[in-house]
Structure 1
Amino acid sequence: MKSQFAAIVFSLLSLTLPAQAVQVRGTTYFVSPPRLVGASTTQNHVYAWSATYYFTLEIPDNSGEPLQRVTIAQDDGVDRVRFNLKETEAFDGDRRSRTKLGLGEVTLDEKTKAVTVNFNPPIPAGKRVTIALAPERNPAYGGVYLFGVTAFPTGDPAYGQFLGFGRISIYDNRFDSFFFRPRFRH
């Protein structure tokens, strides 16, 4: 009975009080982490030189902390995608919005090949943000390319919350036209 009462009181308090960051042993956590809404590309064929990969996140109202940085790391795919970090951008809203957000340092971890995008200033709760990464070119091989997305709140140190995989499909028309063309004509 006491645990039910405590749960009801906690639920009521969470409705009336703004979410506060959670700190455990000095590390900052999101109360409610951002959500990976989707990933897409402007060019989905092999060797495309002018592609942009978009990763869209939603930061809930009750996140407890602003979004400080995001890491995007290729997890799967036949070919390694290399990004031109100087062309990285971020937008308020989705990729069609062109309201740019301030970025801090954008780096590449040489060992893991993860791209880290820092926001300056951090993105407040209740916002949707889209990160635009520019590959040097699309991969040489078609297939599904998975990119793990991790979000970090403000704070030092901050715990990175894995949000899931952004999926980018790249098509190779050289093989599609041969293997998938109709064999018989009526």
Structure 2
Amino acid sequence: MPPLISNQVVAWGANLATTVLLGSLLQTSVQAIELADGTTYFANVPRLENARTTYNSARVFGATYYFTLHVPEDAGEPLQRVMFNQQEGVDSISFNLKRTQAYRNKQKKQLLPIAAASTDEKGAISIFFDPPISPGETVTIGLRPYRNPRSSGVYLFGVTAFPQGEQAYGQFLGYGRLHFYDHFRWPSYWGH
């Protein structure tokens, strides 16, 4: 008579089979979502991780505004374009797009090529990557204003990411928030 197999061994064998099946499913590549008309979407949307400025004083020259985005492993498509649109702030900020830079990680160690940087009729800035940013990578984009705004306050920049593709659908990631302060004070003997 054959030896009996305990319930514990059968359960372990079933769990092992389930683990192997799930593991093989997770190793399959994630595909981007593409509609019948050819519009592509991210399967999982990139994240806006951070927005900061090198100088937060109003009216200062030489600042850089850094926006850090992470493209998740399961994005399905690489990141082709990022659009910035100033949504809030007293002054409209103008940028020197020729001085725009992008880095592969947060520490600004590896410079990435930018295919194009442009502004549309509404003032939205688009940064195009060639090659695009692969899933699993983090990119930091440095925008160079001609000057910080004249007026202090909170300035919000809407950030939208576009996957690779001819008809890529932009997905809004959130707002990059920059706060500028009026640090200049007149000497106390002026204005009496």
| Class of the TM-score when normalised by the shorter of the 2 chains | 0.7 to 0.9
Q: Give the Å deviation of 1:21.
A: 1.0
Residue 156 of structure 2 aligns with an amino acid whose one-letter code is: L
Deviations 1:96-133 (A, max 9, x none): 323100110100012x2110000010010000000000
Distance 1:28 1:102 in 2: 23
Asked if 1:16 corresponds to 2:64, the answer is: no
Moved more, 20-29 or 68-77: 20-29
* In structure 1, C-alpha distance between the alignment counterparts of 2:67 and 2:183, rounded to whole Å: 25
Going from structure 1 to structure 2, the CA distance change for 1:60 and 1:14 (only over 3 Å counts) comes to: farther
- Normalising to structure 1: TM-score of the pair? 0.85
Match of 1:172?
182
What TM-score comes out, normalization by structure 2 length?
Answer: 0.82
State the SS of the aligned residue for 1:173.
Answer: coil
Q: Which residue of 1 aligns with 2:15?
A: none
Query: Which residue of 2 is the match for residue 97 of structure 1?
Result: 108
Correspondence 1:62 to 2:74: yes
Name the residue aligned to 1:5.
Answer: none
Work out the CA distance in 1 between the residues paired with 2:119 and 2:55: 23
- Cα deviation for residue 14 of structure 1 reads 5.3
**Is 1:37 aligned with 2:49?**
yes
Shift of 1:163: 0.2
**Letter in structure 1 aligned against 2:110:** T
For structure 2, which runs of at least 5 residues remain unmatched after alignment? 1-17
Task: Tell me, in whole angstroms, the C-alpha distance in 1 between the residues paired with 2:25 and 2:100.
Answer: 37
Aligned to 2:83: 71
Structure 1 residues 120 and 153, CA gap change in structure 2 (3 angstroms): same
Letter in 2 for 1:115: I
TM-superposed deviation, 1:16: 2.9
SS of the residue corresponding to residue 40 of structure 1 reads strand
Provide the rounded CA distance (Å) in 1 between the counterparts of 2:69 and 2:166.
22
Residue 126, structure 1, aligned to residue 146, structure 2: no
2:62 matched residue in structure 1? 50
Residue-pair matches, total: 166
Q: What's the secondary structure of 2:93's corresponding residue?
A: coil
Structure with greater Cα Rg: 2
Stretches of 4+ aligned residues off by more than 3 angstroms: 11-14
Q: Cα 1:146–1:14, aligned 2, differ >3 Å: closer, same or farther?
A: farther
Partners in 2 of 1:37 and 1:147 — Cα distance? 13
Residues in 1 aligned to 2:44 and 2:25: alpha-carbon distance in whole angstroms: 12
The 1-side partners of 2:116 and 2:25 are apart by 35
Q: Does 1:106 align with 2:117?
A: yes
Aligned counterparts of 2:132 and 2:157: Cα–Cα separation in 1: 22
2:4 aligns with none
Distance in 1 (alpha carbons) for counterparts of 2:97 and 2:162: 19
